[in-house]
Amino acid sequence: MQLLPLAPGRLRQGSPRHLPSCSPALLLLVLGGCLGVFGVAAGTRRPNVVLLLTDDQDEVLGGMTPLKKTKALIGEMGMTFSSAVRLVTVPTCLAFQYGAPDAGGLEHVPLGWSYWYALEKNSKYYNYTLSINGKARKHGENYSVDYLTDVLANVSLDFLDYKSNFEPFFMMIATPAPHSPWTAAPQYQKAFQNVFAPRNKNFNIHGTNKHWLIRQAKTPMTNSSIQFLDNAFRKRWQTLLSVDDLVEKLVKRLEFTGELNNTYIFYTSDNGYHTGQFSLPIDKRQLYEFDIKVPLLVRGPGIKPNQTSKMLVANIDLGPTILDIAGYDLNKTQMDGMSFLPILRGASNLTWRSDVLVEYQGEGRNVTDPTCPSLSPGVSQCFPDCVCEDAYNNTYACVRTMSALWNLQYCEFDDQEVFVEVYNLTADPDQITNIAKSIDPELLGKMNYRLMMLQSCSGPTCRTPGVFDPRYRFDPRLMFSNRGSVRTRRFSKHLL
């Protein structure tokens, strides 16, 4: 079983080893006979692994609602994680788009893959070019042969039909949906006509006591912005119906070929999305739950049906988990993440993390947007009414904490303010009230220190006990020392 190492080492901003949130739709298929690499005994066979990755699919605002088949075939047949988050969002798409000349062009096929189907540049549904094992193939706008989600489904089915029956495989399918331009298949273009973006408590309200980028949003939103985001919400759901079909076809084919009971199927997304929260029309770059939480459903051998886990998992855990399934010794890796295979298999008395790092590096140049001259330099992703979704100093790092007694988020911005946002999500699940100025200073100090530790860790040191893990011992003196390579910053209330 050959596996492309998913994010060996740290997943950091700008790391080419991380699949960007603005990634092109990819279909990556691997088939090989390297079982000896993983120390598999003769006469045994490791399970197959299928990883399905959508682009910009939220979990908080109903992103899984259209996927009835997926929930039935994966979620109800396995485990659903209610607290899965992304780790980082890569700041610029252009530098990481597949097919760019400075990245090797369409001829470049990364090491480790037996079959490689990759979209040139960013997400499209029609009129695109694929690299098929290093050779370019152009597609037009004929639905029956060109609609990208269906093309990925058909290639996957062909692979299952013609692969060897004696070797396990790893398959990764990354769809364009529900990324813009939100082009639905013809049969789904009239679906959800009576659906609107959720009017939850943080919809179309002012982001009081938040980072300046959130505060600049105009409240209430203009009617044109609301119409735009409602339309985008419907179209996003429409594109997901084809993903639902893909999942159904894939599961049925695995069952037909006798592989289903020996296959782990992971379904997740790279990041969440918002539609009108805190008066921001549409995007994915903020620190709030709607942008960082993602769906994660898994079925496979040893996973009981209809399970829900509240364990805090992140996308950095996918690589270790898949390698664990393959039988690889994780002690030989330098991955930051942890294998959640024991969770999937129902292990008892399992020690697990209570916190995870979330980071983002803002996009934008230190110049004024000519369409919005009244705004400060460095803004980007601006709508016609000059509500901007991003800026070069929209750069933050957060500790997201979940334990039996706590549900907190602590964030710092890397700007002149060193602005801090803290939320108690037990009392305030919509993250409306920033409690940074009222929280217990000792607790604030613990989270500040933990953030510094997580930003500076590497490999196994990232798996140390968190603030709310019973094994954790807080020494405030460590906040004010260098501790080798650990970057620390004295906590001061005047920074809030």
The catalytic residues are 93
Contacts within 8 Å (CB) and 24+ apart, 131-135: 131/98, 131/99, 131/106, 131/107, 133/109, 134/106, 134/107, 134/108, 134/109, 135/106, 135/107
CA distance 159 to 156: 5
Q: Which amino acid is at 45?
A: R
CA 282, distance to chain mean position in Å, is 17
Q: How far apart are CA 451 and CA 429, in angstroms?
A: 21
Q: How far is CA 287 from the centre of its chain?
A: 13
Are 335 and 304 in contact by the 8 Å Cβ rule? The answer is no
Q: How many Å apart are CA 85 and CA 272, to the nearest integer?
A: 9
Question: Which helix (H) or strand (E) element contains residue 324?
Answer: helix 318-326
Phi, psi of 404 (to 5 degrees): -60, -30
Both tokens of residue 431? 């993250």
Taking Cα atoms as reference points, which of 366, 455, 351, 460 lies closest to residue 412?
455
Residues 6+ apart with CB under 8 A from 164: 31, 33
Put residue 381 in one of left, alpha, beta given phi > 0 → left and psi -120 to 50 → alpha: left
End-to-end CA distance of the chain: 51
Pseudo-torsion of CA 81, 356, 362, 423, nearest 10°? 90
The residue type of 284 is: K
Whether the CB-CB separation of 147 and 126 falls below 8 Å is answered with yes
Could you count the other beta carbons within 10 Å of the beta carbon of residue 494? 5
- For residue 365, the SS3 value is coil
Q: Which residue has the tokens 């597609």?
A: 139
- Cα–Cα distance between 223 and 204 in angstroms, integer? 11
Q: Are the beta carbons of 242 and 189 closer than 8 angstroms? A: no
Per the CB < 8 A criterion, the answer to whether 340 and 310 are in contact is: no
The string of DSSP codes covering 378-419 is TEEEE-TTS-EEEETT--EEEEEEE-SS-EEEEEEESSTT--
